[in-house]
Amino acid sequence: MRKTTTSNNSGATILIALLFFLVCAIAGAIILAAATTSSGRIAGLAGQEQTYYSVTSAADLIRDDIGNQKFDYYSETDDNGAAITSGVYAGAEPGGKLSALLSAAAESVFKTGNAYTDDITITPDTAETADAMGTVTGTYTMNPDYSLTFTLYSKDKPDEYKCTLTIPADITMDKMNRQVVTTNEDGSTTTTVRTETSLTWGAGKIAKVN
Partner 1 sequence: MKMINERENCILKKLRSRSGETLAEMLVAVLIIAVGMLLIASLIVASNRLIAKGDSKMTSIYENMDQAEKNTAPATEQKVTVTFGQNGTASASFDVNVHQDEDKDFTTYEKKTE
Q: Which is nearer to partner 1, 62 or 163 (CB)?
A: 62
Output the CA torsion sign for 35, 38, 43, 44.
Answer: positive
CB of 59 vs partner 1, minimal distance in Å: 11
Q: 137-148 in b/e burial notation, b at 16+ Cβ within 10 A?
A: bbebebbeebbb
Least distance in Å: CB of 47 to partner 1? 9
| Separation in Å, CA 104 to CA 80, 82, 84, 94 | 27, 22, 20, 11
Contacting residues toward partner 1, per CB under 8 A: 3, 6-7, 9-14, 16-18, 20-21, 23-25, 27-29, 31-32, 34-36, 38-39, 42-43, 45-46, 49-50, 53-54, 56-58, 60-62, 64-65, 97-98, 100-101, 104, 118-126, 129, 132-133, 140
Q: How many Å apart are CA 136 and CA 121, to the nearest integer?
A: 6
C-beta of 80 vs 126, nearer to partner 1: 126
SS3 label, residue 175: strand
Which 8-state DSSP code applies to residue 92? Answer: -
Number of Cβ atoms within 10 Å of the Cβ of 131:
9
Q: To the nearest whole angstrom, how small is the minimum distance from the Cβ of residue 1 to partner 1?
A: 14
In the complex, the smallest distance separating the C-beta of residue 163 from partner 1, rounded to whole angstroms, is 14
Q: State which residue, 16 or 83, has the beta carbon closest to partner 1.
A: 16
CB closer to partner 1, 29 vs 84? 29
Smallest separation, CB 15 to partner 1 (Å): 9
Answer left, alpha or beta for residue 104, where phi above 0 means left and psi between -120 and 50 means alpha.
alpha
